[in-house]
Structure 1
Amino acid sequence: MYFRTIISILFVCLPVICLSAVNEERIVRLEQQMDRLSLTPYIYWLEDSSNQLTIDDIMQEKKEVSFRPPLNQPLNFGYSSATYWVKIKLYSDNCSETTWWYIHLRYPLLNQVDCYIVQDSTIKHIQTGTKRPLSNRPLRHPDFVFPIKMSTNSEATLFLKVQSSSSIQLPMVLWKPSAFYSHEILLYLGTGCLYMFFLFIAVLNLVIFVSVRYRTCLTYAIFVISYVILHMSYKGLAIVWLWPQMSAWITISIPFFIALTALSTMLFTQNFLNTREKLLHFHKAFQVLNILCLFVLFLPFIAPYALSIRMSFIMILMSNILILFTILAALQRGISQSYFFLIAWLMVIMGVITYIMKALGWLPSILIIEKSVEIGYFLCTGMLGVSLFDQFQKERRKQENIQKQAAIERKHHLNVQENTMQTLDQKAKDLHEIAINLSGQIDNLNLESDTVAGASEEMSANIETIASAVEELSVNIKSISTASDKMSQHNTSVASAIQELTAAMNQISGHAQNGSDIAAKVVAMANVAGQTMKSLGSAADQIGSVTEVIKKIAEKTDILAVNAAIEAASAGEAGKGFAVVANEITKFSEQSARAAEDIATRIAGVQNQTQKAITVISEMQEVIESMNQSSESISQAVEQQTMALHDISDNASQANIQSDEMAHMMSEMSLVSDDVSKNAIEASKGVNDVAKSIRTLNLSGQELLNICQKIEMESQNLRIGPEDIKKAPLK
């Protein structure tokens, strides 16, 4: 019975008690022993969608001014275009002396923050935010810190007016200055150590990249550095230390470095897992996302902050999802380094997703969630560092093997290198001698250049004379061309005459041949006549013999007649008739003797004439034979002359053609001579320029002489000894 009564009373009184508790305004009571207090349970907040309320409207408590009660978690309104007001009441209780207190707003990315401290009927206004100068802040701090001086048993009301294009988060803490500085020292000491760790990893990877050209180390260093700058920008450290005067860049740096971190992460993944060779389809997907990430990288410069930050979050989510699937594919294909990679990126992905959910208001703003990204990236960096160290060890072992092989090759080539160094030493000596000789030659060159310059001037005058002569030559060539035309006509006439002469010579050759034939016949007839005359001489000799016989007969007849006369005389009258006959016989013998003498005389004349005729016929035969030989010689000469005339005719034709060509060439030579005349004039100008250039060459020769002297000095220093050979690195 009593139990039921108590329960009934509780059911009646509990709502009244709860309602009174809700309606009772919460006040922060400051105590001497208090160091730190979360203000989340004491923050009353108001959303001004019109962005028109002022501090006067708030102080007058108009109807539209109605603060909502505190929440059980830090205020997080996400991305909103409205203005938010918060109110906190402070009361100094049990404080024996005046003390300072710090109200710490732990979100540094708010664009405009107006703080109004109402105390003792006065209003203190502090204007700060990322779009306002850093010097406006009461404390030079990455976050927003508002100092309040509280005396014993005093109260104060703090109003904050917040407007920002970034996510509006209002985690607030009340600090005693000593505790605040102790906390901040420890916090930033840890943050500094974290940054030092990241920077050490980045520098180490850059050194490895420079040493062994391992591109994965370069992309990893870029990833670490971009994340460090992103973290500094997000935590407000970049505002204080990197770009305190660049208010416009402060806002857009967050989405910019988020996109840059996503891009460097994907590039690192591509190089770390070698997607180009082992995961080609994922490599193409990475290339597409890289292009999109480049677009998002420059989106903050042209688009509103809310759009660019959302696109940056989308890109980093897409990149992490693609990286996760790539790691799973690498695990399936048995790529060894993918195990470390999976563990590392799972930590990052969990941290990023956790923080994004907190930024969107889906998770409470507690320390482990606030530090989820840092924790994830710290663990990721450690795991990836271990993996990279493992890969570096493999590369180092490869390099050691290469160095051992290089040492062997060094020993193998050391003798060759020593010989080369000795050769270089000898070449240095030769170079010294050459430099000395070159110096002398340069002196001679200077003298020769002066001579050549003078000769060039004379040459210029000679070329001008040549130009005049070439002009006259052009006129003469034109005359020669005209004469060539006439000569061509004469050659044509000569060719015709030679053809006629060739025909006449052919006729002469025929007549000479006929004469030769006739001469041969005459020789034959002369031979016959000679034989006949010889026969006639023989007959005349025989007749001479007969004449002698007749003479002897006449003598005997005369003797006989004398004897008959003698006998007739002896006979007397009887012998008168016989004496007459003897007388007649004597007369006949006398006549026969005279006839025989006459015949002998005549036969002697015939013999003389015959002998002369034989002599003449013999001489005539010789002459005819000479004539025959001359006719044959004439015939051969005529044939040769005919052939020569044919050659002359052909040559005359060729001469006619060549004379035509010569006339054409003379015409062209006339044109060329005109060009030569012009070119000679230009050459004269060029020679003048050459003379000037030679003068310049003389000066250059002096400079070259100085250089040779320097070469001579350097060549004396160029001496390589055995110790230099040992120190020479093997490349």
Structure 2
Amino acid sequence: MQRKIYLNDSMDKYSVGLILDYLEDKDNSLKIEDIINNANENKELKWKKSESKTLEFGFTSSSYWVRFVAANSYKKEINWALEVDYPHINSIELYKLTGKSHFEMKRAGNSLPFKERDLFYRNFVFNLTQRPETQSTYYMRFTTVGSMDISLWAWTPALLLRKINDESILFGMYYGILLMASLYTLLLFFTSRKRAYLYFCMWIIGYGLYQSSINGLSFQYLWPESVQFERISIPFFILLAIICGLQYGRTFLDLKNNLPREDKFIKSLIFLSALGMLFVFSFPYPILVIIAFLNVVYIVRLIFITRFLKKRNPFLATRYYVAAWIVLIIGVSAFSLKSSGLLPSNFITNWSQQIGSLLHIILLGMALTERFNAINKEKEDAQIKAIDVLTAAALQKDEFLEQTTRKNIEIENLNTELKKNIRDLNTAKEKIAISEEKYRILVEGSNDVIFSLDENFKFLTVNNAVITHLNIKPEEVISKYFLDLIHEGSERVSVSKLLVQEKLESFAVDKNPMSFKTDFKVSFTSEPKEMRVYLEYVNIEGRNEIIGKATRVEDDLLIKYVESEKQHLTIENYFITAEDISHRITRSLAKYMDHKKVYILRIALREIIINAIEHGNLNISFDEKSQLIDNDNYFVFVAERQQDSKYRDRRVQIEYSIDPRKVLYQITDEGDGFDHKKILTGESVNVNKKMLGHGRGIAMAKNCFDELNYNGKGNQVILIKYFN
């Protein structure tokens, strides 16, 4: 007995799959006339009865025919809708018999543009009419290159419309949540610059496009006219989602460092998936699905890998990561079991894929947040340990300085005692000779340059360390003046030499021990060598001599720990202070620049600070300075200005900041300013042409700094140097 659908205006949705017969056309040769006549080449057609709501045949090149009967026992016409609840069939032909060999035909399928459908809906819907007290036999032919799933449902128009409205609300909520999640993670990427957020965002977008393709919504709203792309949209977007998911997993689990072999294998899967996407129009549909299936299997394997990684790296937030993939697998499995009839159809099973994917994204977001929190905690712990190490180092440094101070006191006491012994042993030439020999061995074995000067600062003795440091033989130094070894630069009158000369004159007056840094000439090279000089007067046999030592300037060991630094310094109008300050505010540059460039910047800064003192606070004009230098009366005039009540209370303000990107100096004096535009545009050229020994400070600073800006008045300058 032929099974039938009994139509009425109040019927609920009805599964046509329970009453239909189906037939496989392996060579795609059957036509509707053959089906109606129930014969093909004189062979009987073997129809099979369906026992389930959905016919699933997987990937097949065969066409499938189905037939069913719809009956209207009422005395009025009934309008009804037949839904094909699988939006990825390429071609569907519906035939309604109107006579013994006459029929009406309708077409559907994603091989046709979306606008040709009976209803603007993601699934295929045929609007049908059944006349009063009649029954009709329907035949349908299904052809596709993808999976052959046949699920037919009969609806009343009103009930189908309510279903579509309910679906639209739920799909809108689902894809709206995915959109908000992707935008939020993209915002986190732009604010934190952490690539894991970008890959997470790409995974959400890729999975969302895959889901919308599965649901048929992409064809409905995104490319309704692109029939060719619709046929391959599912493998294309599932491969895209897999690439994003694998890349996110690589980054999240840090497989490059934790499991390098697994990382290389994932890279090969990503390459294979990208190849599948690139040749998606050329590869057979089943091959693309197999590639996707292999990737999905490996993603399941990643769940077990994370348990192993948790033991190796406790900072990996794997619990949420594992839970996220398990929830997604459960959601997809529940939907598949529902479709197979092994689970009942209800709201949970019908929407299990969407529910599982939303929970999946939430859990992945929690995993990502927990991981970064763990990393930050690890960094904080490392910083605390580093601070402890620095504190311990500082304590050791203090102890070392304290011990050094005690040793210095002991050495001074020994020196005093040694002088007394020398005076007592003047008459004992043999003992003096022995003492001199010991002294020679001590001095010649030192790594520091040890020397003696007469009261005119002319070298009397110097040890062999001068060869190591300055590449000059000791005999070439004897009888030279101390200033002859000072680096002069390219100026006619060396500022460095003038500053050292001022220090020596001050030392000659007060005769107190002195220490300062300066740059020495190095033979056979134009580059100077910075050294710290110690000078002290001693009285030997009734005459004054100067004992000196020059040591190499050691790098500050703590510079490498400096991330940023700010200082505000106020100095008086002394050139010696400008020299010392220039050393102080450039010492941290050694972390970002080589010593040669640091030296050039230090000289330029020193010149700018001296300009602020002499031309700003002391109000010495360019022409006045030129005349005073020619008359060899410059420093006397400067000393008078420094004591003048009109100028002596003026100060130079120096503000300095450094970070890994740049260093900035702001130098402000209390003078009347100057026409800096004239200097910057042409005056430095005149200075070079006249070969003057001054006036090059601004030009030097302009050449070695990236930015040099004066305020309108001209008493404040900002200098910026970028490290990259």
Question: Paired residue for 1:640?
Answer: none
Match of 1:390 among 370, 389, 394: 370
- Bigger Cα displacement from structure 2, 365-374 vs 337-346: 365-374
State whether structure 2 residue 351 is matched by structure 1 residue 111.
Answer: no
Query: Deviations 1:93-143 (Å, cap 9, x if unpaired)?
Result: 34x643421111011111111122335786332222122222221112221
Question: Paired residue for 2:155?
Answer: 175
Equivalent pair of 2:7/2:78 in contact (CA under 8 Å): no
Instruction: Give the whole-Å Cα distance in 1 for the aligned partners of 2:53 and 2:24.
Output: 17
Instruction: Give the whole-Å Cα distance in 2 for the aligned partners of 1:145 and 1:272.
Output: 44
Amino acid at match of 1:186: D
Amino acid at match of 1:167: S
Match of 1:150 among 107, 125, 130: 130
Distance apart, 1:281 and its partner CA:
3.5
Distance apart, 1:295 and its partner CA:
3.1
Question: Paired residue for 1:212?
Answer: 192
Question: Paired residue for 1:303?
Answer: 283
Instruction: Give the whole-Å Cα distance in 1 for the aligned partners of 2:151 and 2:344.
Output: 8
Distance apart, 1:348 and its partner CA:
2.4
SS in 2 for 1:301: coil
TM-score (norm 1): 0.51
Equivalent pair of 1:258/1:313 in contact (CA under 8 Å): no
Amino acid at match of 2:21: Y
State whether structure 2 residue 307 is matched by structure 1 residue 328.
Answer: yes
Question: Paired residue for 1:560?
Answer: none
Query: Deviations 1:251-306 (Å, cap 9, x if unpaired)?
Result: 22211222222222111111111122223333233233333333333353322112
Instruction: Give the whole-Å Cα distance in 2 for the aligned partners of 1:349 and 1:158.
Output: 39
Instruction: Give the whole-Å Cα distance in 2 for the aligned partners of 1:152 and 1:434.
Output: 104
Question: Paired residue for 1:60?
Answer: 37
Equivalent pair of 2:95/2:103 in contact (CA under 8 Å): yes
Equivalent pair of 1:101/1:176 in contact (CA under 8 Å): yes
Query: Deviations 1:623-668 (Å, cap 9, x if unpaired)?
Result: xxxxxxxxxxxxxxxxxxxxxxxxxxxxxxxxxxxxxxxxxxxxxx
Amino acid at match of 1:48: D
Rate the CA distance shift 1:41–1:396 in 2: closer, same or farther, 3 A: same
Equivalent pair of 2:567/2:657 in contact (CA under 8 Å): no
TM-score (norm 2): 0.52
Instruction: Give the whole-Å Cα distance in 1 for the aligned partners of 2:712 and 2:156.
Output: 74
Distance apart, 1:226 and its partner CA:
0.6
SS in 2 for 1:113: strand
Structure 2: gaps of 5 or more residues:
388-562, 569-653, 659-663, 687-708, 719-723
Instruction: Give the whole-Å Cα distance in 2 for the aligned partners of 1:90 and 1:328.
Output: 57
SS in 2 for 1:169: strand
State whether structure 2 residue 49 is matched by structure 1 residue 69.
Answer: yes
Rate the CA distance shift 1:119–1:286 in 2: closer, same or farther, 3 A: same
Instruction: Give the whole-Å Cα distance in 1 for the aligned partners of 2:679 and 2:76.
Output: 95
Query: Deviations 1:12-61 (Å, cap 9, x if unpaired)?
Result: xxxxxxxxxxxx21111112221322222122211111211112222223
Query: Deviations 1:678-723 (Å, cap 9, x if unpaired)?
Result: xxxxxxxxxxxxxxxxxxxxxxxxxxxxxxxxxxxxx99989999x
Equivalent pair of 2:9/2:156 in contact (CA under 8 Å): no
Match of 1:90 among 70, 85, 108: 70
Instruction: Give the whole-Å Cα distance in 2 for the aligned partners of 1:27 and 1:262.
Output: 44
Question: Paired residue for 1:669?
Answer: none
Instruction: Give the whole-Å Cα distance in 2 for the aligned partners of 1:232 and 1:304.
Output: 22
Amino acid at match of 1:98: E
Distance apart, 1:431 and its partner CA:
6.3
Match of 2:12 among 32, 35, 51: 35
1:452-471 correspondence to structure 2 within 5 Å: none
Distance apart, 1:197 and its partner CA:
1.2
Equivalent pair of 1:128/1:134 in contact (CA under 8 Å): no
Question: Paired residue for 2:171?
Answer: 191
Instruction: Give the whole-Å Cα distance in 1 for the aligned partners of 2:357 and 2:11.
Output: 35
Rate the CA distance shift 1:308–1:281 in 2: closer, same or farther, 3 A: closer
Match of 1:129 among 109, 119, 126: 109
Instruction: Give the whole-Å Cα distance in 2 for the aligned partners of 1:115 and 1:217.
Output: 49
Rate the CA distance shift 1:130–1:721 in 2: closer, same or farther, 3 A: farther
Identity of aligned residues (%): 23
Amino acid at match of 2:292: S
Equivalent pair of 1:266/1:323 in contact (CA under 8 Å): no
Match of 1:258 among 230, 233, 238: 238
Query: Deviations 1:558-583 (Å, cap 9, x if unpaired)?
Result: xxxxxxxxxxxxxxxxxxxxxxxxxx
Instruction: Give the whole-Å Cα distance in 2 for the aligned partners of 1:412 and 1:38.
Output: 81
Query: Deviations 1:437-461 (Å, cap 9, x if unpaired)?
Result: 69x99xxxxxxxxxxxxxxxxxxxx
Distance apart, 1:151 and its partner CA:
3.9
Rate the CA distance shift 1:140–1:421 in 2: closer, same or farther, 3 A: farther
Match of 1:248 among 224, 228, 236: 228
Instruction: Give the whole-Å Cα distance in 2 for the aligned partners of 1:399 and 1:113.
Output: 61
Equivalent pair of 2:303/2:322 in contact (CA under 8 Å): yes
SS in 2 for 1:168: strand
Equivalent pair of 1:40/1:72 in contact (CA under 8 Å): yes
Which structure has the highest helix share of the two? Answer: 1
1:576-587 correspondence to structure 2 within 5 Å: none
Match of 1:286 among 266, 270, 289: 266
Equivalent pair of 2:72/2:78 in contact (CA under 8 Å): no
Question: Paired residue for 1:51?
Answer: 28
Question: Paired residue for 1:635?
Answer: none
CA RMSD of aligned residues (A): 4.3
State whether structure 2 residue 254 is matched by structure 1 residue 274.
Answer: yes
Larger radius of gyration: 1
Structure 1: gaps of 5 or more residues:
1-23, 442-714, 726-730
Which structure has the highest strand share of the two? Answer: 2
Instruction: Give the whole-Å Cα distance in 2 for the aligned partners of 1:64 and 1:429.
Output: 111
Instruction: Give the whole-Å Cα distance in 1 for the aligned partners of 2:144 and 2:228.
Output: 13
SS in 2 for 1:416: strand
Match of 1:102 among 51, 56, 81: 81
Amino acid at match of 1:92: N
Instruction: Give the whole-Å Cα distance in 2 for the aligned partners of 1:135 and 1:719.
Output: 73
